[in-house]
Homo-oligomer: A and B are copies of this chain.
Amino acid sequence: MLEDKNPQKTKLEQLGEFGLIKHLTKDFALQQKSTIKGIGDDAAVLDFKDNKAVVSTDLLIEGVHFDLSYMPLKHLGYKAVMVNLSDIYAMNATATQITVSIAVSNRFPLEAIEEFYSGVALAAEIYKVDLVGGDTTTSTKGMLISITAIGEAKDEELAYRNGAKPNDLLVVTGDLGAAYCGLQVLEREKEVFKVNPNSQPDLSEYTYVVERQLKPEARRDIKELLKSLEVQPTSMIDISDGLSSEILHLCEESQVGCNLYEDKIPLDPTVIAACEEFNIDSTLVALSGGEDYELLFTIDQKDFLKIKGNPNLTVIGHMTDKNEGAHLVARNNSKIPITAQGWNSFS
């Protein structure tokens, strides 16, 4: 689908670099008051007045972070934005601007890049962030994406990784493990397709998990939700590499320990069903699967009643003194040390 076999597809050299940027970004409206100048100068100009600015950046490589054989380009554009916005939301901040740079080899026609940017545009529109800069260039192999997200927050709203205290409650948004299950389904279908290219997969029972993999949503809603509940998180991080890895980050940065209760980890029924089908442990998937883009945060115990029963939030444990270490309290009440099994891109 991506190979440039169709003579009607537009080759990138027809547009040139400047023409390409102009072409791709002409329909991006600016929505943020803080955006004074977007694309079209040496740099974007932003105005945060009394708020603090927050900045996060990610580099995504074809064959390492995404596989175009099952990732439609529009979804990829959307997801690449989500990955970055999630980092901004994990500061308890509001995302306001993004820059998007891509490099593509000459096997990509203009139409493929347009598909990618249509996903970026959709994400920018839904999440109300302005595209204010970027770069397009050739790569010698495959596709590369670099996104920087910028956001803002009042000083007292910001939630760092180092603010958790012993006895704080550990809270997670949404449910975990679905993105990893979706990946397993897609990998299996890819293998089936290799053997029998005419097979028509029926993925209807996997809709939720596949969507969590291909079109994740970042938790833009949580900052507002916590504000309305009058809860200020004491620490916060996003779950991109799996729950265990993120808990260890919070523990290390905050110099605390943690008890995580296995029976409290929120799992969607379709995740449990998929784990049974693939014969993998659902707790392990939640702990190490990654790509959930949910938020993990801690709150003072006094705020428990404010969040109790909220369908978006689950208390899954509590922080302890540092010397108690970080443990999973299993269903049989045994305590298992949590180890970093987060994604290691060099292994």
Contact = CB atoms under 8 A, between A and B. Distances in A.
B53 A47 contact: yes
Given A57-B135, A138-B345, A138-B346, A146 B101 contact: yes
Interface string A134-155: 1111111110101011110000
Interface stretch (A13-21, A73-81, A223-231, A270-278): A13-21
A160 B61 contact: no
Contact of A40 (B12, B43, B46, B253): B253
B99 A137 contact: no
Residue among A41, A86, A90 with the most chain B CB within 10 A? Answer: A41
Interface string A5-27: 00000001101111010000000
Contact of A55 (B49, B59, B61, B150): B150
A168 interface: no
B151 A345 contact: no
Contacts of A62: 140
B52 A36 contact: yes
A87 interface: yes
A260 interface: no
Contacts of A36: 52
Given A47-B52, A90-B43, A93-B43, A57 B134 contact: yes
Contacts of A344: 13, 16-17
A19 to B, nearest CB: 9
Contacts of A15: 346
A148 to B, nearest CB: 4
Nearest to A53: B46
Contacts of A162: 41
A137 B101 contact: no
A145 to B, nearest CB: 9
Given A97-B55, A345-B17, A103 B61 contact: yes
Contact of A63 (B47, B54, B140): B140
Contacts of A236: 42
A91 B41 contact: yes
A61 B37 CA distance: 27
Task: Choose among A59, A93, A136 the residue with the greatest number of B CB atoms under 10 Å from its CB.
Answer: A59
18 contacts: A13-B344, A13-B347, A16-B344, A16-B346, A18-B342, A40-B253, A42-B237, A43-B54, A44-B55, A45-B91, A47-B52, A55-B148, A57-B133, A57-B146, A61-B137, A64-B138, A138-B346, A141-B141
Interchain residue pairs A-B with the least CB separation, the first 8: A146-B146, A43-B56, A42-B90, A42-B87, A59-B101, A43-B54, A13-B346, A141-B141
